[in-house]
A and B are shown apart, each in its own frame.
Chain A
Amino acid sequence: MRRWFGQSGFYALVVIIILYSLFPFYWVFKSSMESSISLNQPTTGMLPVQWTLVHYQAIFAVENFLRPLLNSMFVAGVTTIISVILGSMAAYGLARMPIKGKAAILGFVLLVSFFPQIAMVGPLYLVFRHLQWLNTYQSLIIPYLILALPITTWILTAFFGQIPQDIEEAAMVDGATIRQTILKVFAPIALPGIFTAAILGFLLSWNDFLFALSFIQSPNMDTVPLALVNFRNAYYVHYGQIYAGVVVASLPIALIVLFLQQRIESGLTAGSVKG
């Protein structure tokens, strides 16, 4: 009897957890299909009063939501590529090469990930204003390195450290140069770890709001979070468009998480880095 209660109690808990995580997404989806008229009246039920796709049309036709999507993809993509290249190089040096001061270097990388983003805003703003870089992609890519580079370096160092060294040593014995060993022998084995670091670097850059808010002033350069928040700064709150925009922007992210959940988890716990 007690066991049966424990079992069903456990499954009730599972249901509550799933509802807690996913019900908000259902509500976003439902509201994105609701007409503006019913969105402006008190909620009456769990389904849209009248199904409509008008908000989806509006975000692309009226708000040009494609632009922030492309902006975010470009900025997060370039940041990820730079972070993964620099991070892999550093991680290989840290995990494989007999360099001195490894602890100090790793400590420095970790320290940077503790630096408050907000404290960077003023100095970077002044520097970018001086260089006339406000409102440009580089005014986002450069500060996003603060977000992505420490985590990629940290994760990759942990991953590279787990790869057995014998294979590279064998290649070296066979006369391969350091460069050949890294590119032909090591890189293929390290690829899953690099992929994991890339996903996390991408998500962290994609999720930024503070830097975009501070360095971007024209709607043309908006990233996704900034564009969504700005939907309501017009004459009235465009609930429907915000909901539709969130659906469009979150679907790819949700799919990434669903399919790559194990990678993301292993990355986040690899060196207990921040998220």
Chain B
Amino acid sequence: MAAKLATKSPDQLTQRRPGASYLARRRRVGYLLVMPAIIALALVAIYPLIYNLVLSSRFDVATEPGTQHFVGLQNYHSLMTDPAFWGDLLHTGIFVVISVTLEFVAGMILALVVNRKFRARGLVRASILIPWAIPTAVSALLWKMFFDIRSGFVDFALKSLHLPGAQAVWFNSPILAWVPIILSDMWKNTPFIALLLLAGLQTIPQEIYESAKIDGASAWQSFWSLTLPLLRPAILVALIFRTLSAMLVFDTIFVMTGGGPGRSTEVIAYYNWYKYMVSLNFGYGAAVAVVITILALLLAAIYVRILRQREGFVT
């Protein structure tokens, strides 16, 4: 009410002092500005989340219409006792560890190289970013074809260099099928890690390296005892975001192997999608979704803790 009056008060218009009612008016406008985005996000993200919680307590299979009913925690119980789910969780865990580690090492090398000043650096920086902008599904499609004996270059390269692996039918082997998957994931996602690390590197003042050099430190020593510790916040952020998206890997698996051969490359997101969209078992799929959401939110909690420690939360 006070805010409404303020708009009409000539006093307020001429004075322009941040008096109480002026502040209140700005605050009100502020809430109005923030509201639409919050409502939109709540509708598209929170609503499905709640829907999942409700759905996961029901028997709801689209191929058996009219049989929906409340089942309590039974979906969760079936999920926890399904060896296929645990197998997929294991695949996901192994994929996360291997792909994030490789991408981190490659991303660090990329960032260190691009951080040096040299001719055509801008062009190199731009070209390493291009794979990041390619859709994950397209990257997967490409690497699947690159590993094809006929239209790809992998077998051709291996044969030309007389390396083992030429003629290997990559996608028929439960172990080898992971190689193209991880390479595709690396090609697409390493630039992202490199970018975050590079931003971190550029905040480190050059002088400390010079004084370390004067003190007789080798390049390797100053990397371990200066760069890495100072880069810690950037490293943590990069690792968390990559861990999150690796944990949720779907496009790459769907396009390259469809979880095969057998179930050897199946991951939890694929499991969830299959239950939802192929089995049309929405109750069970929702239980899987809730478990995956909890795993993702655990990572979010870790991320927020790191942000808090680093600089306070509000930008």
Contact = CB atoms under 8 A, between A and B. Distances in A.
Q: A-side binding surface: helix, strand, loop or mixed? A: helix
A11 B45 CA distance: 47
Contacts of B132: 257, 275
A258 B109 CA distance: 21
B45 A210 contact: no
Interface in B1-60: 13, 16, 23, 26-27, 29-34, 36-38, 40-41, 44-49, 51-52, 55
A178 interface: yes
Q: B-side binding surface: helix, strand, loop or mixed? A: helix
Contact of A122 (B127, B145, B276): B276
Contacts of B276: 121-122, 125, 214
A19 to B, nearest CB: 10
A175 B13 contact: yes
Interface residues of B, number: 97
Interface in B152-196: 152-153, 155-156, 187, 191-192, 195-196
Contacts of A261: 122, 125-126, 129
A98 B27 CA distance: 5
B277 A90 contact: no
B34 A122 contact: no
Given A90-B38, A123-B286, A261-B125, A228 B138 contact: yes
A249 B152 CA distance: 20
A209 B313 CA distance: 32
Interface string B228-266: 000000100100010011001011001100000000000
Interface in A27-41: 27-28, 31, 34, 39-41
Contacts of B282: 122, 126
B293 A93 contact: no
Given A261-B126, A264-B129, A272-B196, A17 B30 contact: no
Contact of A106 (B148, B234, B251, B315): B315
Given A21-B127, A118-B273, A225-B135, A109 B47 contact: no
B49 A22 contact: no
Given A269-B196, A275-B195, 20 more contacts: A20-B187, A21-B127, A21-B187, A43-B152, A44-B156, A92-B33, A94-B30, A96-B30, A99-B27, A110-B303, A114-B299, A114-B300, A114-B303, A115-B45, A121-B289, A126-B51, A161-B315, A207-B136, A253-B130, A257-B130
6 contacts: A40-B151, A90-B36, A98-B30, A108-B38, A114-B299, A119-B289
Interface of B: 13, 16, 23, 26-27, 29-34, 36-38, 40-41, 44-49, 51-52, 55, 109-110, 113, 116, 118, 122, 124-138, 141-143, 145-146, 148-153, 155-156, 187, 191-192, 195-196, 198-199, 234, 237, 241, 244-245, 248, 250-251, 254-255, 269, 272-273, 276-277, 282, 285-286, 289-290, 292-293, 296-297, 299-300, 303-304, 313-315
Interface of A: 10-11, 13-14, 17-18, 20-22, 24-25, 27-28, 31, 34, 39-44, 82, 86-87, 89-90, 92-100, 102-103, 105-112, 114-127, 142-143, 145-146, 149-150, 153, 157-158, 161, 172-173, 175, 178, 203, 206-210, 213-214, 224-226, 228-229, 239, 242-243, 246, 249-250, 253-254, 256-258, 261, 264-265, 268-269, 271-272, 274-275
